[in-house]
Amino acid sequence: MIPRTTFRDEQAANRRNSLLLALIVLLVLAGLGFAIGYGISGNLDTAYVVVLGAVFVSLLLTAGSYFGGDALVLSASHAREVTPQQAPQLYNVVQEMAIAAGIPTPRVYIIDDTAPNAFATGRDPRHASIAITSGLLQKLDREELQGVIGHEMSHIRNYDIRFALLVAVLVGSIALLADVFLRFTFWGGGPRRGNDREGGGGLQLVLFLLAIVLAILAPIFARLVQLAVSRQREYLADASSVGLTRNPAGLERALAKIASDREVLEAANRATQHLYIVNPIKKFEARAQGLFSTHPPIVDRINRLRQLTGEPPLDPAAIRQLQGLD
């Protein structure tokens, strides 16, 4: 028997896990920078400079994405802003969920695509946007739409939109630093004799070799951590949506409908797929090959929602219908 938890328990656990995973990514960036700096120079001062430089570049990239990242995402998704007069029911649900969440009403965008899906973006609740596809409006009833909007509103209220941005930039910084270092070694760069008082040539060579290994593996590891953060935040937003709507059944049905829909969301790509409520790149698509999963399994998400209300898990027939779709 699965122990019963509340959505507040889900919120607390996932916040702790997400913060821990983000700290791990930051430590990987710092460790890679130190290994590269000391491995090349054999000097502690140089190693610290490389670490500080890597963090500084990450901060610059974060600042650029902080102020302009949402506009780029919306433009890349071909989203158009709509008014209350153009989409009255959608706006009504968005305003309803914003009041329940205690945050300003975000800007509302529609993506003209028949595949049902949605995402939130922005840097904070005062500078946030929600984008949904036209297919979502057509295929979901009001309760299901409330569940989806509640999920996206939770991403905004919980600052997931900012949190995901931070982790994405850290992962990108690790990949950038690793790529520069590997190119440096490929073109003949190598360890230079450092100060023997600071560890000797043996330690320098070990750290240089370690830096090469880290440069190859760290981006992959950091990407896996990023995906783990994304999955944790999806669980948290599901639980938070229940707190806003008081109706887990609406979100449960919505997740099942979106996951089982066979339409291809053309506007989604590898850079934006993690933003959507359900992975928009289906496993049967050619572009899905070689991708890590950005979302928790739909079956797990639905069972967690059922767990919040004490309902039994999905039966085997329902699991077979939903398994492997995400």
Instruction: Name the residues annotated as catalytic.
Output: 152
Q: Is residue 259 a contact partner of residue 326, using CB atoms and an 8 Å limit?
A: yes
Own/partner contacts of 315-324, CB < 8 Å, gap of 24 or more, are 321/260, 322/256, 322/259, 322/260, 322/298, 323/297, 323/299, 324/283
Neighbouring residues of 219: CB distance < 8 A, sequence distance ≥ 6: 171, 174, 175, 178
- Rounded to whole angstroms, the Cα distance separating 263 from 190 reads 51
Nearest in space to 225 (alpha carbons), one of 19, 65, 62: 19
Instruction: List, in order, residues 6 or more apart from 1 with CB less than 8 Å away.
Output: none
Q: How many residues does the chain have?
A: 326
Torsion of the alpha carbons at 26, 228, 11 and 70, rounded to the nearest 10: 70
Distance (Å) of CA 203 to CA 31, 52, 185, 193, 199? 15, 21, 18, 11, 6
Task: Using DSSP bridges, classify how beta strands 128-133 and 118-122 pair: parallel, antiparallel or unpaired.
Answer: antiparallel
Per the CB < 8 A criterion, the answer to whether 151 and 276 are in contact is: no
